[in-house]
């Protein structure tokens, strides 16, 4: 167990589970919390599986440390589907960039930890190397997750953003399903089963119709 072991109500977190391959092809959740901020006040965004090949340093460099305007726009667009449950996500994104910039301006350090995992980690390691799973008991969320906790060390420099962050309301996910939730998987499986049954029974239906039609023609000719 590492330095951080935060858990949201109803959530089970597993770092590098043996069955992670069953999530292949799905997006993963990047969840970030500063230091001791609880998970219900987290920043989160869903990223495509292609980002798993990035190093953690590159991911944060491109989108949080020194992002170009188009990268900021890209990430903010990824937040839009989730603004209904946390309208403060863009503000949190901006505050993360401010925190990192403030610490670097003071020649300080930002340390990266994995919640329920190791830390501080080597940021040259890949995202894939530190993925876990986040599963909620009600089936609403069932995700691959990169669950990062950031520590800011700025030579005793005051970081007002942390105090502001602690005042954010806790996110309520009641009635919300994630993009890879167990509920969605069940619906998909049900749809696949129905489609398969339809596919298998279609030739039988066609054959039955042909027999009925042939019988009808024969009866009319007698």
Please provide the DSSP assignment of 137-194 as one string: TTSS-EEEEEEEEEEEE-TT---HHHHHHTTSPPP--TT---TT-HHHHHHHHHHHHH
The arithmetic mean of pLDDT across residues 179-195, rounded, is: 45
The arithmetic mean of pLDDT across residues 157-170, rounded, is: 91
Residues 198 and 171 in one domain: no
Res. 222 pLDDT band, cuts 50 70 90: very low
Residues 55 and 156 in one domain: yes
User: pLDDT tens across 37-74, in order?
Assistant: 999 999 999 999 999 999 999 999 999 999 999 999 99
Q: Is 21 a domain residue?
A: yes
Residues 54 and 85 in one domain: yes
Residues 173 and 188 in one domain: no
Residues 155 and 203 in one domain: no
180 neighbors 27 (Cβ within 8 angstroms): yes
Q: Is 56 a domain residue?
A: yes
The tokens for 161 are 């953003």
Between 201 and 84, name the one with better pLDDT: 84
Residues 36 and 125 in one domain: yes
Residues 129 and 185 in one domain: no
Residues 211 and 167 in one domain: no
Between 104 and 197, name the one with better pLDDT: 104
Q: Is 161 a domain residue?
A: yes
Question: Distance between CA atoms of 140 and 143, rounded to whole angstroms?
Answer: 10
What per-residue confidence (pLDDT) applies to 210? 57
Residue with tokens 């007002």: 160
Residues 172 and 204 in one domain: no
Q: What φ, ψ does residue 14 adopt, rounded to 5°?
A: -130, 125
What per-residue confidence (pLDDT) applies to 220? 37
Residue with tokens 């997750």: 145
What per-residue confidence (pLDDT) applies to 186? 41
Q: Is 114 a domain residue?
A: yes
Q: Is 5 a domain residue?
A: no
User: pLDDT tens across 7-20, in order?
Assistant: 998 999 999 999 99
Query: Taking Cα atoms as reference points, which of 15, 23, 192, 32 lies closest to residue 110?
Result: 32
Residues 106 and 143 in one domain: yes
- For the cut 80, the answer to whether the pLDDT of residue 217 exceeds it is no
Instruction: Point out the least confidently predicted range of 95-109, 149-163, 186-200.
Output: 186-200
Q: Is 1 a domain residue?
A: no
- For the cut 70, the answer to whether the pLDDT of residue 184 exceeds it is no
The number of folded domains in the chain is 2
Query: Taking Cα atoms as reference points, which of 171, 107, 104, 109 lies closest to residue 140?
Result: 171
Alpha-carbon Rg for the chain in angstroms: 25
Q: Is 193 a domain residue?
A: yes
Quote the domain boundaries for residue 200. 181-222
150 neighbors 111 (Cβ within 8 angstroms): yes
Q: Is 3 a domain residue?
A: no
Residues 39 and 88 in one domain: yes
Residues 105 and 15 in one domain: yes
Question: Distance between CA atoms of 59 and 119, rounded to whole angstroms?
Answer: 17
The tokens for 9 are 């109500």
């Amino acid at each position: 167990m590492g330095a951080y072991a935060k858990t949201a109500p109803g959530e089970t977190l597993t770092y590098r589970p043996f069955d992670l391959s069953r999530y292949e092809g799905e997006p993963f959740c990047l969840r970030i919390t500063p230091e001791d901020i609880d998970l219900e006040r987290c920043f989160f965004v869903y990223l495509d599986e292609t980002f798993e090949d990035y190093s953690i340093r590159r991911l944060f460099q491109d989108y949080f440390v020194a992002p170009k305007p188009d990268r900021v726009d890209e990430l903010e667009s990824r937040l839009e589907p989730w603004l209904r449950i946390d309208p403060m996500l863009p503000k949190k994104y901006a505050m993360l960039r401010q925190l990192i910039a403030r610490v670097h301006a003071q020649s300080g350090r930002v340390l990266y930890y994995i919640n329920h995992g190791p830390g501080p980690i080597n940021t040259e390691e890949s995202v894939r190397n530190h993925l876990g799973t986040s599963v909620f008991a009600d089936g609403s969320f069932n995700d691959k997750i990169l669950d990062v906790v950031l520590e800011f060390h700025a030579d005793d420099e005051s970081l007002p953003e942390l105090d502001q962050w602690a005042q954010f309301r806790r996110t309520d996910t009641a009635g919300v399903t994630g993009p890879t939730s167990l509920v969605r998987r069940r619906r998909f499986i049900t749809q696949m089963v129905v489609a398969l049954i339809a596919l298998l029974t279609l030739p039988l239906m066609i054959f039955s119709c042909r027999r009925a039609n042939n019988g009808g023609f024969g009866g009319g000719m007698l």
